[in-house]
Structure 1
Amino acid sequence: MLTDKRQRTLLLALLFFTVVINYMDRINISVAASAIRGDLGLSKESMGIIFSAWAWTYTGFQIPGGIVADRFKARVLYPILLVGWSLATIVQGFVSSLGALVGCRVFVGAFEAPSYPINNKVVTQWFPPNQRASAISIYTSGQFIGLAFLAPVLTILLVEFGWRNFMIATGIMGVLWAVVWFVLYPKTKEDNKKTNEDGSQEEVVQRPQAKIDLPLAFSHSKLWGLYIGQFAIGSVFIFFLTWFPTYLTDYRGIEIVKSGFMSAVPYLGAFAGVLLAGFSSDAMSRRGISEEIARKAPVMLGLVFSTAIIGANFTTNNNLAIAFLTISFFGVGLASITWVFVSLIAPDEYVGMIGGVFNFFGGTSAIITPFLIGVLISDDNFAPAFFYIGTVAVLGFLSYLFIVGKVEKIELKTDKPLEA
C-alpha cells in the first residue's frame, strides 16, 4: 500500500504526462498546418475553422464533462477518454477533405472536454488546500514543458514521415498511455476520503449526492470574474496552440525545423511561469498572506505580461520577436494556476460542475480566437491579431481586479434539496 505522500507523487506524475499527451494531440494539427494546407489546398480561413473545430465540442461539453467528472472515478473515466481522442487523432492521418478534418477535431475536443475537471477533482481529493496551487502548477506545467520538448521533435517527425504518419503516431501514443494510467492509478476508495490541511486523509460520512444545480454556477459575481479571466487567458494561450507555428514559418519566414526549436523558447518561458506561480502562491498562503494576494497576484501579473505579445508587431528582428512572445507566454504560465480558484471557491459537491463552466468560458476563447485571427490577418500582416489578443488580456486583468473579490468558499444553503 502506498503512503499518502507516495500516492500524491504518483498522481502528479500521471497527471503531468496525461497533460503532455493531451496537448500533443491538441497542437499536432498546428504543427502540421502548413503541410496539410499545401497538400489539401486549404485557405487560411479554412485552417482557422479547423483550428477552432476542436473547441466547438471541447467547449460545449465542458459542463456535461464536469458533471461526469463528479460522478465517475478518474481511474476508469480517464482511460476511456484517452482512447477516444487518440483514435480520433489516428483517423486524421487517413482523411483528405476539410469536412473530414473538422469532424476528427470535433471528436478530439469532445473526448478531451472532461480532462481538466478530472485533473482538478483529483487534486481537490488528494491534496490539502495549502498544496493545491503547487500541485496544479506541476501538472499544468506538462502542457508547457511537454510542448517545449515536443515542438522540435514533432517538426522533425513531420518532415521525416509526412503529416499523415505523424498524426497516426501521436494517436498511438495516447492509446498506450491510457493503459499506463489504468494500471498505475492508486486503487483506493478515493470518493470516501478527504484530505486535511496537514495532508492526512480520513474517511468521511457519505451524504446523498447533491442534485445538479447549474444555476449555482452563474449566481455569484466572483465566479463570473473567474470566467471572464479564463476567457482572456485562453485567448492568449490558444494562439500558441494554433497559429504560432504558422506565424513563424509564413509571416517570419523561418524554416520549419528551425521554427520548431525557436517555438520551444516561449514554451519554456511558460513552464517557468507556471511553476513560479504555483510554488510562490502556496508559499505566500502558508505564511499567512491573504488569499487575495497569494492567489490573485500571480494571475494578474501574468495577464499584464501577456500583453507583451503586441511588441512583436514593432520589430523585424526574429529573435526580438521571440523575446516578446516568450514574455507573453511566461505571463500565461504565471496565470495558469487559475484552477486553484475553482478548488477554493466552489462548494466541494460542485467542484466538477463549476470547473466545467469555468473551462467552458476558457474553451469559448478557443472557438472565437483562432477563427477571428484567420479573419483579422492578411497574407502579409499579422499585427491585428496581436492587438486583439493584448486587448483581451487587459480585460482579464480588470476582471480579476474588480469582479473576483474575496477568495473564499461559496456556502450552500442548508436546506438545499439532495438526491436520494
Structure 2
Amino acid sequence: MTQHDTAGPVPEMANNTFGDPRKPGRTHVRWTVFLIMLLLGTINYFDRVSLSIALPDIAREFQINEAQVIGVIQSGFFWAYALMQIPSGILADRFRERTIIACATVGWGIAQASVALCTGTYSLFAARVALGITESPIMPAGAKLMGVWLHPNERARGSMLLDGGAPLGTAFGAAGISALIALFGDWRMAFVIAGALTVLVGGLAWWYIRNDPSEHSGVNDEEREFIASSQEPETAKPHFRIRNGFGYLRQRNVTALILGWCSYSTVFYGLMTWLPFYLTKQRHMDISSMGSAMAIIFLLCFLGQISGGYMIDWLRGRGYSNNRVFHLFLAVSAITAGVGIYLAANVESSTAVIILLGIAIFPLRWCSVYWSVPSLLGAQRVAGTILGTMNFASNMTSAIVPIVIGYLVAATDSYYAAMMIFVVAAALYLVSSLMINFNKPIKVFD
C-alpha cells in the first residue's frame, strides 16, 4: 500500500487524524447514537426477514403452493421500499433526521404487527407493502446523521454500525421468529410481539438521538470540537431539481456506486429471501435447524462487517490511500462471496453448505462503506438524495429478483440457477466497486 494519492484533496479528508475515541476527557455520545442506529437496523431486518421464516407455515395455512406467488409476496416489500427511497432521501436532506427516524420506526412496528391480521394472499401482500413504505426513510436519514456526527476517519465504522443491523437482524430474526412460532405454536403472535418491540425502540430513538452534537446535553466540549473540526461549513438546505439528478447520474462515482449497490443487494437480499426455502426444500432441514443455520450464517456476516469497518478506518487513519484501502476490501468482499456461493451450490453435505455460505457472507457487508461515500467525497449536503437514489435502484433490483427466482425454481424444480444468479451479481459488484475513485470529489449542484 502507498500513502495518499497525490490527486486533489477531497473535502473532509484534510484532517487525517484517526481520532482515538478513548482519549481522556472526550465523551462518546456519537458512538451511542450509532449503537442505537445499529439496534434500529437490527429490528428493521428482524421485521423484514420474519416473513421469509414464517412463510412455510403461512403458505400451508393460506394454501399457497406456487413459487411464483411466494416470489410476488416477497417482492411487495421491495417495490414499496424502492419507490419511497428517492422521496425519503429528499426528506432527509430537507427535514430533521431525529423526527424522521422515530416516526418511521413506530410506523413500521405497526405495519409489522398488522401481518397478524392477514387472512390471505392479498392482505399479506398489502402488509408487506406497508412495511416497505414505513421502513424506507431509515437509511437515508441515518446516513445524514453520520455526516454530522462522525469524523471522516470514523465513518467506515459508522457505516458498518448503520448498516450492521442487516446481518444481525437477519440472524436474530431467523432464530427469534422461529423460536416464537415454536413457543406459541402460532405465527400470528410472533408478528404482534415483533411489532410491539419495534414501537418501543422508536420511542428510545426519539428520547436519545439528536440532529446535531450541539443539541445533545451529553456531548462535552472535547467531543463537540473533535466532530466540528472536520465538518463542511453550514449551507442552505438544497432544493431538489430533476436536472440536477441527471447531473449526478452522469458522474462515474455516482453511477458506479449505484451499480455496485444493486449488484451487492442482489446477493444479500436474494440469500435473505430465498435461503430459508433453499435450506428447507433443497437441503431438507426442519424449521428449527433452518433457523439455527440462518442465525450462524448471518451472525458471521455481522462479525465480518464490524471487523471490516475497524480495519478500514485503522488503515485510512494510518495514511494509506483511500483508493487502495477501499478497493482492496471491496474486492475481497466480492470475490469471497462469489466463490463461496458457487462452491456451496456444488457440494452435497448440508454442513459444508453452511460453512461455505458463512465464509462467503463474512466479508460481504464491507459494501456498507458505500453509505459513507457521498459525505467522504464532499457531497454531505445532498447525501440523502444520492443515497436515496442508490437505495431506490437496489431495491427495484431486489423487488425483481424474488420474482425471477420464483419462476426459475418453478421451471427447474431446483435452486441451482438462483445461486448462479448470485455468483454473477458478485462479479458485477466487484467490477462496479473498482470503478469508484475514492479520491475524486462528487460535484454538488446548487
Relative to the length of structure 2, the TM-score reads 0.86
Q: Secondary structure at the match of 2:437?
A: coil
Alignment of 1:111-190 (within 5 A): 111-161=134-184, 162-186=186-210
State the Cα distance separating 1:343 from its structure 2 match.
2.4
User: Paired residue for 1:395?
Assistant: 428
Moved more, 33-42 or 269-278: 269-278
- Say what the alpha-carbon RMSD is for the aligned residues: 2.4
In structure 2, relative to structure 1, the CA distance for the partners of 1:205 and 1:254 (3 Å cut) is closer
Moved more, 68-77 or 211-220: 211-220
User: Paired residue for 1:66?
Assistant: 89
User: Paired residue for 2:372?
Assistant: 340
Letter in 1 for 2:55: A
Alignment of 1:47-58 (within 5 A): 47-58=70-81
State the Cα distance separating 1:52 from its structure 2 match.
0.9
State the Cα distance separating 1:4 from its structure 2 match.
6.6
1:351 counterpart = 2:389: no
- Structure 1 residues 55-76: Cα deviation after superposition (integer angstroms, max 9, x where no partner): 1011111111001111221221
State the alpha-carbon separation in 2 of the partners of residues 105 and 206 from structure 1. 39
The answer to whether the Cα contact below 8 Å between 1:299 and 1:337 also exists between their aligned partners in 2 is no
Q: Secondary structure at the match of 1:377?
A: helix
- Structure 1 residues 131-167: Cα deviation after superposition (integer angstroms, max 9, x where no partner): 1001211232232233323422221111222111111
User: Paired residue for 1:241?
Assistant: 272
User: Paired residue for 1:259?
Assistant: 290
Letter in 2 for 1:355: L
> Could you tell me the percent identity over the aligned residues?
25
In structure 2, relative to structure 1, the CA distance for the partners of 1:342 and 1:302 (3 Å cut) is same
- Structure 1 residues 39-89: Cα deviation after superposition (integer angstroms, max 9, x where no partner): 101121111011111010111111110011112212211111112111111
1:272 counterpart = 2:295: no
State the Cα distance separating 1:346 from its structure 2 match.
5.4
User: Paired residue for 1:5?
Assistant: 27
The answer to whether the Cα contact below 8 Å between 1:79 and 1:181 also exists between their aligned partners in 2 is yes
Q: Secondary structure at the match of 2:442?
A: coil
State the alpha-carbon separation in 2 of the partners of residues 269 and 176 from structure 1. 27
Unaligned 5+ residue runs, structure 1? none
Letter in 1 for 2:401: T
The answer to whether the Cα contact below 8 Å between 2:261 and 2:367 also exists between their aligned partners in 1 is no
The answer to whether the Cα contact below 8 Å between 1:341 and 1:407 also exists between their aligned partners in 2 is no
Alignment of 1:184-223 (within 5 A): 184-186=208-210, 199-201=226-228, 206-212=234-240, 213-223=244-254
Residue number among 283, 294, 315 corresponding to 1:284 in the alignment: 315
- Structure 1 residues 379-408: Cα deviation after superposition (integer angstroms, max 9, x where no partner): 74110000111011101211222x323433
User: Paired residue for 1:309?
Assistant: 341
State the alpha-carbon separation in 1 of the partners of residues 54 and 152 from structure 2. 40
Relative to the length of structure 1, the TM-score reads 0.91
Letter in 2 for 1:9: W
The answer to whether the Cα contact below 8 Å between 1:4 and 1:200 also exists between their aligned partners in 2 is no
State the Cα distance separating 1:191 from its structure 2 match.
9.0
The answer to whether the Cα contact below 8 Å between 2:305 and 2:365 also exists between their aligned partners in 1 is yes
Q: Secondary structure at the match of 2:88?
A: helix
Letter in 2 for 1:176: L
Q: Secondary structure at the match of 1:243?
A: helix
Moved more, 368-377 or 52-61: 368-377
1:21 counterpart = 2:43: yes
State the alpha-carbon separation in 2 of the partners of residues 406 and 13 from structure 1. 26
Residue number among 62, 77, 83 corresponding to 1:40 in the alignment: 62
State the alpha-carbon separation in 2 of the partners of residues 347 and 138 from structure 1. 21
State the alpha-carbon separation in 2 of the partners of residues 6 and 272 from structure 1. 22
State the Cα distance separating 1:288 from its structure 2 match.
1.3
The answer to whether the Cα contact below 8 Å between 1:56 and 1:106 also exists between their aligned partners in 2 is yes
Letter in 2 for 1:7: V
The answer to whether the Cα contact below 8 Å between 1:265 and 1:326 also exists between their aligned partners in 2 is yes
Q: Secondary structure at the match of 1:102?
A: helix
State the alpha-carbon separation in 2 of the partners of residues 82 and 300 from structure 1. 34
Residue number among 46, 53, 66 corresponding to 1:31 in the alignment: 53
Residue number among 416, 427, 446 corresponding to 1:383 in the alignment: 416
The answer to whether the Cα contact below 8 Å between 2:155 and 2:313 also exists between their aligned partners in 1 is yes
Q: Secondary structure at the match of 2:117?
A: coil
